[in-house]
C-alpha cells in the first residue's frame, strides 16, 4: 500500500506504517533540517517542500500513485500552549490543504494526528470536511504512555475511509486495546533494556507500572527533567542540537502509526 506522508517531520509516521507493511512513496515537509533527516533515511523517496503547491497532477507527473495519506498537520494554533487562533489559524489552517489533497487523490485510507486540544478546537471542522469529501472517520485519544513510553504525549488519531465501504470499527477501542497490548509485548525486551540503561545512567524517579498485566516504564510525578537535552537557552554553538530537539518535539511515536497501519492492512485484506 503506497503512502503519501504530509507534514512529515522526521518520518515517525512513515516509520510506523512501514513496520506494518506499507510503503512511503512521497513526503511533503517544509523544514530544511527535517528534510535532511528524511533524505538520510529514505534516500530514494521524493520529498516535496510545500503542501500548498502539492497537487494530484504533480504527483502523477512524477509517476507517484497513492493508496493512503498520513500526516499530523500543524498544531500551533490549536494547542492549549499556542496562540488560540484555532484551526483557522495561519499554521493549523493548513488542514484545508490536507483536505484538498484528499479530495484530489481520493485515497483508500487517511490517517491524521494532532494534539488532544483538537477535540474542542477543530475536530468538528476536520470531520465535516472529511464527510463533505465522502469519507467516514473514527478517532481515538492514544498516548505514548499507552504503548510503554516514559511520557504521556497524548494525541488524537483519526482514521478515515470512503463511505459505504463496510469498514466501520476499523479504529474502535476494543481493537486498539488488543493492538496496544500486542505492541507492548513486542516492546517488552526494548523496554527492559531502556530501564536498565536509565538505571546505569543513575536516573531518578523511574518506576515500573503494571497496566493490563504488562510492565511499562514510567516516571514518578510525570516529570522527567533528567531526560531533557542539555539546552542552556543561549547560543551554545550547537544549533543542530536545537534542531533535533524541535524535530523530536514535533514527531509522533512510531509505534502508534504502526498499530494504525496494521489495522488498515487488515481492513484492506
CATH topology of domain 2-183+250-268: Rossmann fold (3.40.50)
C-alpha cell at 162: 470512503
- Whether 253 shows a pLDDT value over 70: the answer reads yes
pLDDT at position 211 is 47
Q: What is the mean pLDDT of residues 20-29?
A: 97
Q: Which of the pair, 139 or 225, is modelled with greater confidence?
A: 139
- Beta-bridged to residue 6, according to DSSP, are 28, 71
Residue 224 pLDDT more than 50? no
pLDDT of residue 225: 39
Residue 41 has pLDDT above 70, yes or no: yes
- If one counts every other C-beta atom within 10 angstroms of the C-beta of residue 252, the result is 23
pLDDT digits (tens, 9 = 90+) for 198-220: 445 444 444 444 444 544 444 43
Tell me the per-residue pLDDT of 89-102, one tens digit each, with 9 for 90 and over.
Answer: 999 999 999 999 99
Rounded to a whole number of angstroms, the CA Rg of the chain reads 19
Average of per-residue pLDDT across 130-159: 89
pLDDT at 245: 80
- 248 phi and psi angles, rounded to 5 deg: -65, -35
Using CA atoms, how far apart are residues 223 and 131, in angstroms rounded to an integer? Answer: 40
Residue 110 has pLDDT above 80, yes or no: yes
pLDDT of 201 reads: 46
Percent of the chain clearing pLDDT 70 (strictly above): 74
What is the structure's pLDDT at 246? 84
- Average pLDDT estimate for 237-262: 82
Binning pLDDT at 50, 70 and 90, where does residue 21 land?
A: very high
What are the sequence ranges of the domains in the chain?
2-183+250-268, 187-247
Whole-number pLDDT of residue 182: 67
- At 50-79, the pLDDT tens digits run 999 999 999 999 999 999 999 999 999 999
pLDDT of residue 242: 75
Name residue, grid cell 530501564: 195
Grid look-up 465501504 returns 165
Mean of pLDDT over the chain: 82
Mean pLDDT computed over 37-58: 97
The more confidently predicted of residues 51 and 180 is 51
DSSP letter for each residue of 31-72: -HHHHHHHHHHSTTS-EES-GGG--HHHHHHTT---SEEEE-
Among candidate residues 28, 34, 75, 184, the one labeled active-site is 75
Supply the DSSP string of 186-231, one letter for each residue. HTHHHHHHHHHHHHHTT-SSEEEEEETTEEEEEEGGG--GGGS---
Instruction: Check: CB of residue 54 under 8 Å from CB of residue 66.
Output: no
75 carries an active-site annotation: yes
Q: Please name the residue that has the C-alpha cell 533528567.
A: 226
Amino acid at each position: 500500500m503506497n503512502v503519501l506522508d504530509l507534514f512529515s517531520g522526521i518520518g515517525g509516521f512513515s516509520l510506523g506504517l512501514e513496520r506494518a507493511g506499507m510503503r512511503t512513496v512521497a513526503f511533503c515537509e517544509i523544514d530544511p533540517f527535517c528534510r535532511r533527516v528524511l533524505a538520510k533515511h529514505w534516500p530514494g523517496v521524493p520529498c516535496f517542500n510545500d503542501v500548498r503547491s502539492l497537487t494530484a497532477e504533480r504527483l502523477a507527473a512524477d509517476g507517484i500513485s497513492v493508496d493512503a495519506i498520513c500526516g499530523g498537520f500543524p498544531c500551533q494554533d490549536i494547542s492549549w500552549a499556542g496562540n488560540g487562533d484555532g484551526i483557522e489559524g495561519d499554521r493549523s489552517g493548513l488542514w484545508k490543504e490536507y483536505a484538498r489533497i484528499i479530495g484530489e487523490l481520493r485515497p483508500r485510507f487517511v490517517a491524521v494526528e494532532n494534539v488532544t486540544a483538537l477535540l474542542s478546537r477543530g475536530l468538528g471542522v476536520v470531520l465535516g470536511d472529511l464527510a463533505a469529501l465522502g469519507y467516514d472517520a473514527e478517532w481515538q485519544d492514544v498516548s505514548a504512555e499507552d504503548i510503554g513510553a516514559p511520557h504521556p504525549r497524548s494525541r488524537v488519531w483519526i482514521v478515515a475511509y470512503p463511505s459505504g465501504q463496510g469498514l466501520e470499527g476499523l479504529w474502535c477501542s476494543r481493537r486498539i486495546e488488543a493492538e496496544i497490548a500486542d505492541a507492548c509485548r513486542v516492546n517488552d525486551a526494548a523496554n527492559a533494556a531502556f530501564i536498565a540503561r536509565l538505571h546505569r545512567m543513575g536516573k531518578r524517579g523511574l518506576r515500573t507500572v503494571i497496566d493490563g498485566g504488562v510492565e511499562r516504564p514510567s516516571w514518578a510525578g510525570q516529570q522527567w527533567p533528567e531526560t531533557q537535552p542539555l539546552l542552556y537557552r543561549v547560543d551554545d554553538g550547537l544549533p543542530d542540537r536545537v534542531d533535533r530537539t524541535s524535530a523530536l518535539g514535533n514527531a509522533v511515536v512510531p509505534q502508534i502509526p504502526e498499530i494504525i497501519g496494521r489495522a488498515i492492512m487488515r481492513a484492506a485484506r
